[in-house]
C-alpha cells in the first residue's frame, strides 16, 4: 500500500515538474555580431527582439540548468511575411523553426532536447532563410520539462555582467597619502566596454578601459561633494571638484549620471599581458577641509611616470580610505563575454613616508550580483596576484565576502620626478616665461641652465655656493597668476641649499651675501608633476624673490 502511494506521489511530482514553464524575455539575449551601439532598438525592454534583419547575425540566450531531463522549447514570435526559417541550436542539437506570417505573437514549438547534466546552456538562433525585410520579432523563449526545475536565467533587460570588486582592508589608524597598485589584463580578456579599475578610493577611481575596437584609455575621476547623482549643472560650485593640472594630451571635463565629479582620460594603447603601475596620492588640508587627489600612470616603454590629472576635492580633508579595485562591463551589448584582470603588489604610503603592503582583499559584487540576475563571476589569487573575472556564463568561483590572501611583493619605486611629458612641459614653461618677459611682467638679467634670474640688489659679501647653508628672506609665487604660496614674515629662514629644489640650487649661487635676486624656475627644476602643496599645482612655474642675509660654509 505504502509503495503504491509513493509511486503515485512520484508520478504526480514528475507531472508537476514537467508542467512547469519558464519564460525567458527575448530582450535578455545577445547578438553576434553585436549591435553598433547601446541605443540600438534591436533588444527592446517592451517588445523583445525587433528589427532583426541581418542573416549573418546570431542571437543567443544563456541559462543555468540544475537538473537533467527533458527540455521543451518554444518561441513566442511573429513576422509580417511568411518564409522565415530559424535554426535553434542547444546542447549539440539543431532544431528547425518556421515562423508563419502573423501580426500577433504566436507560440511556435521548436522541439525537445535531452539534458544530461547540470550547467550553463546556450540557445542560439540562426537565420537559415529570411521572409520579407525582417527575419522575425521574438517576444520570449518558453522552456518546460523536467530540466527547468529551479533553473536560473536573467529576467532583466539589463544585459551587463555583474561588476565585481576587491576591497583592501586598511586600519583607520593608517593615514595613507598614496595608494599603489599594478594591473595586468590577460590575452583575450580585453573586451570592448570594459573598465578594469586598479586604484579605487572613497572619492574616486583610477584604471584602464577598452572603449572601442581601436581605442583604449587611462581613466581618473574624482566625485563631487553633495548628493546630486545625475546632473552636474545642479551641483553648487562649493561642492564641485576643481581641476588643478593635467598631463600632456589628457582630456578633462565633468561627468554625471553615476554621481557627478571631475573626469580625465588619456587615450593610450595599453596591451594585454603587460603589467601597468598606477598610483593615487592625497594631499590634505584640514583648515580648508579639502584634499588634492592626483593620478599617476607609469609608462613601461619609457620607464617614467605620467601625470594624468590632479583634482581638489571639497568637503574632504581626509587621506585615502575605502580602497578597492573592480571589473566593470559598462555597456551590456557584449555582457555574455568574460572579462578578467590581475591585480598585484598593492601598497600604501603613510604620512611619515613609510610604505605598508596590502596582502589581503575581500570579494564583492554590485546590485546585479546581489539581485541574483547574474551568477557568472569569481575571484581569488593566482601566481602571486589577486584576480577578478565577470561574464562568460561560467560557474561562479567566489562568494560574496570571500577573503583572499596573496604572498608578499616588492616595495614600489615611485619617483614621479621621472616625468614622461618633461620635454613637452619644458617647452611650455619656456614659452610661458618668455611671454611674461615680453609682456614686461618682470625683467630678467639672463638665464643659466634653464633658470631665469634678475639681480634686484647687488650683494657685497661672499659668493653663495651650492654647498652652503643659507639664511634668507623669500617670497614664492606662481608665474601663472601671481598668487603667493609661501613667504617668510618676521623671521628669516635657514636651509642647507642642497636640500632645496634644483632651481634654488642653480639660482641662488648667482647672488652674493647682502644681495637680492628674483629667480623664475621651470616646473621641471621645481616640483614637476608632484602635488607639493595645496597652493602649488603640478607643472607650476615658480617665481622666488630671495634676499641672502648670510651663509654658513
pLDDT digits (tens, 9 = 90+) for 522-538: 999 999 999 878 889 99
Q: Are residues 189 and 315 in the same domain?
A: yes
Quote the pLDDT of residue 18.
Answer: 43
Confidence band of 40 (pLDDT split at 50, 70, 90): confident
Q: Are residues 35 and 124 in the same domain?
A: yes
pLDDT in tens, 491-525: 999 999 999 999 999 999 999 999 999 999 999 99
Nearest to 425 by CA among 538, 307, 524, 299: 524
What is the residue range of 446's domain?
Answer: 422-552
Indicate if the pLDDT at residue 330 is higher than 90. Answer: yes
* 105: CATH: 2.60.120.260
Contact 418, 303 (CB under 8 A): yes
Q: Are residues 461 and 524 in the same domain?
A: yes
Find cell 596620492 and name the residue: 281
Q: Are residues 547 and 480 in the same domain?
A: yes
Q: Are residues 283 and 426 in the same domain?
A: no
Question: Stretch 378-383: mean pLDDT, rounded?
Answer: 97
Q: Are residues 435 and 524 in the same domain?
A: yes
Contact 123, 40 (CB under 8 A): no
* 234: CATH: 2.60.120
Q: Which three cell numbers stand for residue 503?
A: 632651481
Q: Are residues 141 and 230 in the same domain?
A: no
Quote the pLDDT of residue 38.
Answer: 78
Q: Report the mean per-residue pLDDT for the chain.
A: 94
Confidence band of 7 (pLDDT split at 50, 70, 90): very low
Q: Are residues 326 and 451 in the same domain?
A: no
Instruction: Indicate the number of domains in the chain.
Output: 3
Q: State the burial class of residue 287 (Cβ atoms within 10 Å of its Cβ: 0-12, 13-18, 19+).
A: exposed
DSSP-derived secondary structure for 248-264? TT-EEEEE-SSS-EEEE
pLDDT in tens, 144-171: 999 999 999 999 999 999 999 999 999 9
In three-state secondary structure terms, 233 is helix
Question: Stretch 192-202: mean pLDDT, rounded?
Answer: 98
What DSSP character marks residue 201?
B
Radius of gyration of the chain (CA): 32
In three-state secondary structure terms, 400 is coil
Confidence band of 418 (pLDDT split at 50, 70, 90): confident
Q: Are residues 71 and 184 in the same domain?
A: no
Considering the domain boundaries, does residue 401 fall inside one? Answer: yes
Which of 128, 153, 178 is the last residue in one of the domains? 153
pTM (whole model) above 0.85: yes
* 528: CATH: 3.10.50.40
Quote the pLDDT of residue 5.
Answer: 45
Q: Are residues 214 and 336 in the same domain?
A: yes
Amino acid at each position: 500500500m505504502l509503495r503504491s502511494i509513493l509511486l503515485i506521489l512520484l508520478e504526480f511530482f514528475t507531472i508537476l515538474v514537467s508542467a512547469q514553464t519558464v519564460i525567458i524575455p527575448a530582450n535578455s539575449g545577445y547578438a553576434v555580431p553585436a549591435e553598433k551601439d547601446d541605443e540600438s532598438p534591436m533588444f527592446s525592454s517592451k517588445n523583445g527582439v525587433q528589427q532583426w534583419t541581418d542573416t549573418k547575425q546570431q542571437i543567443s540566450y544563456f541559462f543555468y540548468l540544475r537538473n537533467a531531463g527533458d527540455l521543451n522549447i518554444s518561441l513566442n514570435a511573429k513576422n509580417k511575411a511568411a518564409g522565415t526559417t530559424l535554426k535553434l541550436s542547444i546542447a549539440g542539437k539543431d532544431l528547425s523553426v518556421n515562423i508563419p506570417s502573423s501580426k500577433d505573437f504566436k507560440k511556435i514549438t521548436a522541439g525537445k532536447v535531452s539534458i544530461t547534466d547540470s550547467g550553463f546552456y546556450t540557445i542560439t538562433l540562426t537565420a537559415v532563410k529570411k521572409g520579407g525585410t525582417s527575419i522575425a520579432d521574438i517576444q520570449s523563449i518558453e522552456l518546460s520539462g523536467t530540466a527547468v526545475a529551479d533553473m536560473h536565467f536573467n529576467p532583466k533587460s539589463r544585459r551587463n555582467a555583474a561588476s565585481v570588486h576587491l576591497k583592501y582592508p586598511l586600519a583607520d589608524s593608517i593615514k595613507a597619502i598614496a595608494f599603489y597598485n599594478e594591473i595586468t589584463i590577460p590575452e583575450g580578456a580585453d573586451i570592448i566596454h570594459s573598465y578594469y579599475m586598479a586604484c579605487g578610493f572613497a572619492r574616486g577611481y583610477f584604471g584602464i578601459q577598452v572603449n572601442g575596437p581601436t581605442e583604449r584609455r587611462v581613466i581618473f575621476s574624482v566625485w563631487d561633494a553633495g548628493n546630486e547623482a545625475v546632473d552636474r549643472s545642479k551641483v553648487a560650485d562649493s561642492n564641485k571638484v576643481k581641476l588643478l593640472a593635467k598631463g600632456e594630451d589628457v582630456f578633462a571635463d565633468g561627468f554625471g549620471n553615476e554621481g557627478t565629479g571631475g573626469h580625465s582620460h588619456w587615450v593610450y594603447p595599453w596591451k594585454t599581458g603587460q603589467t601597468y603601475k598606477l598610483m593615487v596620492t592625497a594631499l590634505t588640508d584640514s583648515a580648508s577641509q579639502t584634499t588634492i587627489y592626483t593620478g599617476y600612470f607609469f609608462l613601461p616603454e619609457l620607464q617614467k611616470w605620467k601625470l594624468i590629472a590632479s583634482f581638489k576635492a571639497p568637503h574632504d580633508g581626509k587621506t585615502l580610505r575605502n580602497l578597492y579595485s573592480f571589473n566593470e562591463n559598462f555597456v551590456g551589448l557584449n555582457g555574455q563575454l568574460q572579462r578578467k584582470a590581475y591585480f598585484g603588489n598593492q601598497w600604501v604610503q603613510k604620512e611619515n613616508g613609510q610604505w605598508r603592503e596590502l596582502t589581503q582583499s575581500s570579494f564583492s559584487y554590485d546590485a546585479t550580483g546581489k539581485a541574483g540576475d547574474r551568477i557568472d563571476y569569481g575571484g581569488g589569487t593566482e601566481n602571486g596576484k589577486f584576480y577578478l573575472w565577470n561574464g562568460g556564463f561560467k560557474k561562479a568561483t567566489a562568494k560574496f565576502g570571500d577573503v583572499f590572501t596573496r604572498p608578499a611583493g616588492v616595495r614600489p619605486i615611485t619617483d614621479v620626478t621621472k616625468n614622461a611629458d618633461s620635454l613637452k612641459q619644458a617647452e611650455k614653461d619656456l614659452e610661458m616665461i618668455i611671454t611674461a618677459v615680453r609682456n614686461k611682467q618682470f625683467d630678467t638679467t639672463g638665464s643659466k641652465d634653464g633658470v631665469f634670474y634678475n639681480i634686484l640688489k647687488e650683494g657685497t659679501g661672499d659668493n653663495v655656493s651650492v654647498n652652503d647653508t643659507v639664511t634668507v628672506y623669500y617670497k614664492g609665487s606662481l608665474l601663472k597668476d601671481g598668487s603667493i604660496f609661501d613667504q617668510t614674515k618676521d623671521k628669516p629662514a635657514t636651509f642647507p641649499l642642497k636640500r632645496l629644489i634644483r632651481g634654488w640650487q642653480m639660482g641662488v649661487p648667482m647672488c652674493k651675501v647682502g644681495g637680492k635676486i628674483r629667480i623664475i624656475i621651470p616646473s621641471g627644476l621645481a616640483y614637476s608633476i608632484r602635488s607639493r602643496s595645496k597652493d602649488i599645482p603640478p607643472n607650476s612655474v615658480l617665481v622666488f624673490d630671495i634676499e641672502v642675509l648670510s651663509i654658513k660654509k
